[in-house]
Amino acid sequence: MVYYFLRYRISIHLGDMMTKVTIVPVQPAAIASGYCAISDSIQSFGDTPGQALDALTSQLGEIDSDLLIIVQNQKPDDFFTAKQQERLALLMAQWRSARDENQPAQFDGQAELESLVEAELLASASRAKSLRNEIEN
């Protein structure tokens, strides 16, 4: 499953292993509002991102090493601008509308949406590299 518009992306480092966790806002129509934390086939819910993460980590088993959590706040920056975020949000709303009307094939912005998703992914990688450089220096 691909999430085009992530709110929080968290990596939990467990020793030599890295468990990837994605936290997304729950759609109000689905269940009570809040957040869903997902890792592989495990998911949990909470009223806040922290509660969802706590519920998920309790299902991951014992953590017997240092724990590093990085939370990306998704604010505009040099890697992915406010203009790009606004355009991505608009295209996602249009895509969801087309999907909900069972007409995703008629969505004209698919190529631009995929380009922005790719740009957001590259921005995330650049942000991570920048953070690593800050930590190492």
pLDDT by 10s per residue, the chain, length 137? 233 334 445 554 444 556 667 777 776 544 556 788 887 778 888 888 888 888 888 887 665 444 566 666 678 899 999 999 999 989 988 888 888 888 877 778 889 999 998 998 888 888 888 877 887 77
Instruction: Determine the pLDDT at residue 27.
Output: 62
H helices present in the chain, as ranges:
49-59, 82-100, 110-136
Instruction: Determine the pLDDT at residue 84.
Output: 95
Q: How many residues does the chain have?
A: 137
Q: What is the CA radius of gyration of the chain?
A: 17
* Integer Cα distance of 120 and 87 in angstroms: 12
* Integer Cα distance of 71 and 114 in angstroms: 24
Task: Tell me how crowded residue 10 is: count the other CB atoms within 10 A of its CB.
Answer: 19
Residue 32 one-letter amino acid: A
Helices H / strands E in the chain, number of each: 3, 5
Residues 6+ apart with CB under 8 A from 83: none
Question: Which residue do the tokens 């975020």 mark?
Answer: 85
Nearest to 116 by CA among 78, 135, 90: 90
Instruction: Determine the pLDDT at residue 6.
Output: 41
pTM, whole model, 2 decimals?
Answer: 0.57
Instruction: Determine the pLDDT at residue 112.
Output: 93
Instruction: Determine the pLDDT at residue 134.
Output: 80
